[in-house]
């Protein structure tokens, strides 16, 4: 602060040890325990669903819930990498705070690839276009409707098993490339002196700028393949963007939880200031707004058009008691985070902000349930209890828990603060720099 000669003397200094605190190991072992317990529950539920439910869809529900877990972990891993790139381009002190947690999130990509192998193997149970490659025969056998048969034939160029696998592999390869680039350069940057900082700032901007565009395209592609194509008849041009915003939403929520939890010990105790916590809360609030904006926009356009090839997607998700779920989704996903994050006091309070962020992650999962389950004939316009449907509360928990365990390993892997950055000096200044 140029106008205050006293400020400089109040600056804090970084602790000598920048490694992740020891309690991160505790998080990891607890995550593994939760993962194992919920894996057992998931298998039991699948067996119960298979034998006790009238439809005998236990393992099908297991797979559908698996897709929910895949989208969540994919959102954390690839969305985390996207936020990292956005921050390299936009700057901002909050980013210095989150850089290493975000790198740790992006470093979990391999687990997401493993999770993705399951839908590849069991493609025929999830996607009509994979099950009935000969649409005409399936139509004549009365297995699918006229519309579905038409769409399967019409979209065959994109929606076929070989392209599904290829698109996934190419996208994973692209994300892995950026992962290797960003995480490798980041460590290299730390080893060099402050005179190289301008070079590194430019370098990261040059890597990240195109990376953000590539991310938007590849993420749109896989969200169409993985989730939207479960209903072969429907399409929406804003679908990729919906997932993009959802990823920003969940990644910010998770990063805030991690940053606040890490601030119980050094080095985050020193570098997490209330100012940046408040900024992160505001950014999360922006994503809450953007999310409802896009979701309602899509609904309003389709509702206004009222076209038979579009409106059924919503009718499948409103009629037959699904209206209860979407009403709750609106409350969970928008009303509660919006009203909570509106408050300055909640954004500045560590404990309360953590609770809001945990709630936000739950809301993302709840929204995915509403997106995924009604794609299937037994559930569309017919929300009903079955043992299988409880899988949505078991499989994703286990998958995210294992993901968190890997995240903790990655977090331990490198210093928690990037030292060669001009923001570091600013973040070490006391918050009331004038006094």
Partner 1 sequence: MPAREGIYGLLAEFETPGDLVRAARQSYQDGWRRMDCYSPFPLEEAAEAIGFHRDKVPLVCLLGGLLGGSAMFALETWISVIAFPLNIAGRPMYSWPAFIVPAYEWTILWAGLSAAFGMLALCGLPALYHPVFNAPNFRDGATTDKFFLCLEALDPKFNAAEARAYLEAFQPVSVVEVEY
What is the C-alpha to C-alpha distance for residues 172 and 189, in angstroms, rounded to an integer? 25
CB of 323 to partner 1, least distance (A): 13
CB of 7 to partner 1, least distance (A): 7
DSSP state of 142: T
CB of 243 to partner 1, least distance (A): 23
Q: For residues 351 and 434, which CB has a smaller minimum distance to partner 1 in the complex?
A: 434
CB of 434 to partner 1, least distance (A): 5
Taking Cα atoms as reference points, which of 389, 408, 412 lies closest to residue 400? 408
Cis link prior to 283 (omega < 30° from 0)? no
CB of 342 to partner 1, least distance (A): 8
DSSP string, 181-237: HHHHHHHHHHHS-GGGHHHHHHHHHHHHHHHHHHHHHHHHHHHHHHTGGGSTT---T
Q: For residues 107 and 337, which CB has a smaller minimum distance to partner 1 in the complex?
A: 337
Q: What is the CA radius of gyration of the chain?
A: 23
Q: For residues 247 and 298, which CB has a smaller minimum distance to partner 1 in the complex?
A: 298
Q: For residues 173 and 301, which CB has a smaller minimum distance to partner 1 in the complex?
A: 301
Output the six-digit token pair for 284. Answer: 């999360």
Could you give the C-alpha distances from 58 to 50, 51, 132, 317, in angstroms and in order? 4, 8, 21, 21
What is the C-alpha to C-alpha distance for residues 125 and 119, in angstroms, rounded to an integer? 9
Residue with tokens 């929300």: 383
Q: Please report, as ranges, the residues that interact with partner 1 according to CB under 8 A.
A: 3-7, 296, 299-300, 303-304, 306, 342, 344, 432, 434-435
User: Which phi and psi angles does 82 have, rounded to 5°?
Assistant: -65, -40
Sign of CA dihedral 242, 244, 245, 251: positive
Length of the chain: 435
Q: For residues 2 and 162, which CB has a smaller minimum distance to partner 1 in the complex?
A: 2
Q: For residues 59 and 330, which CB has a smaller minimum distance to partner 1 in the complex?
A: 330
CB of 245 to partner 1, least distance (A): 18
Q: For residues 136 and 274, which CB has a smaller minimum distance to partner 1 in the complex?
A: 274
CB 392 within 8 A of CB 316: no
Q: For residues 13 and 306, which CB has a smaller minimum distance to partner 1 in the complex?
A: 306
Q: For residues 99 and 317, which CB has a smaller minimum distance to partner 1 in the complex?
A: 317
Q: Which residues contact 88 (CB under 8 A, 6 or more apart)?
A: 95, 182, 204, 205, 207, 208
What is the C-alpha to C-alpha distance for residues 14 and 11, in angstroms, rounded to an integer? 10
CB of 306 to partner 1, least distance (A): 7
Residue with tokens 């602060």: 1
CB 96 within 8 A of CB 424: yes
CB of 395 to partner 1, least distance (A): 34
CB of 275 to partner 1, least distance (A): 11
């Amino acid at each position: 602060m140029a106008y205050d000669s006293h400020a400089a003397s109040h600056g804090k200094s970084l602790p000598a040890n920048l490694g992740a605190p020891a309690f991160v190991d505790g998080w990891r072992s607890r995550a593994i325990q939760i993962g194992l317990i919920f894996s057992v529950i998931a298998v039991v539920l699948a067996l119960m669903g298979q034998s006790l439910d009238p439809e005998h869809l236990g393992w099908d529900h297991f797979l559908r819930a698996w897709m929910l877990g895949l989208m969540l972990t994919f959102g954390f891993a690839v969305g985390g990498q996207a936020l990292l790139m956005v921050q390299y381009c936009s700057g901002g002190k909050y980013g210095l705070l989150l850089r290493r947690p975000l790198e740790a999130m992006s470093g979990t990509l391999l687990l997401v690839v493993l999770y993705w192998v399951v839908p590849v193997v069991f493609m025929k149970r999830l996607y009509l276009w994979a099950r009935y490659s000969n649409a005409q025969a399936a139509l004549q056998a009365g297995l699918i409707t006229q519309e579905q048969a038409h769409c399967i034939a019409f979209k065959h160029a994109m929606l076929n098993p070989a392209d599904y696998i290829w698109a996934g592999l190419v996208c994973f390869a692209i994300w892995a490339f950026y992962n290797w680039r960003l995480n490798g350069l980041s460590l290299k940057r730390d080893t060099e002196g402050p005179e190289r900082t301008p070079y590194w700032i430019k370098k990261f901007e040059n890597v990240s700028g195109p990376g953000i565009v590539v991310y938007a395209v590849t993420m749109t592609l896989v969200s169409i393949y993985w989730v939207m194509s479960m209903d072969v008849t429907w399409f929406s041009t804003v679908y990729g963007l919906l997932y993009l915003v959802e990823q920003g939403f969940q990644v910010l929520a998770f990063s805030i939880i991690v940053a606040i939890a890490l601030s119980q010990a050094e080095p985050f105790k020193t570098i997490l200031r209330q100012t940046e916590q408040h900024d992160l809360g505001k950014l999360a609030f922006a994503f809450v707004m953007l999310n409802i904006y896009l979701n309602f926009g899509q609904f309003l356009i389709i509702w206004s058009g009222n076209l038979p090839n579009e409106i059924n997607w919503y009718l499948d998700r409103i009629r037959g008691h699904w209206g209860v779920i979407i009403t709750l989704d609106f409350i969970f996903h928008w009303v509660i985070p919006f009203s909570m994050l509106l408050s300055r006091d909640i954004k500045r309070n560590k404990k309360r902000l953590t609770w809001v962020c945990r709630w936000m992650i739950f809301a993302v999962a709840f929204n995915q349930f509403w997106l995924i389950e009604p794609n299937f004939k037994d559930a569309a316009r017919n929300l009903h209890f079955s043992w299988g449907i409880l899988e949505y509360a078991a499989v994703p928990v286990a998958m995210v828990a294992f993901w968190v365990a890997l995240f903790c390993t990655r977090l331990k892997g490198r210093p928690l603060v990037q030292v060669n950055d001009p923001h570091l000096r600013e973040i070490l200044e006391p918050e009331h720099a004038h006094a």
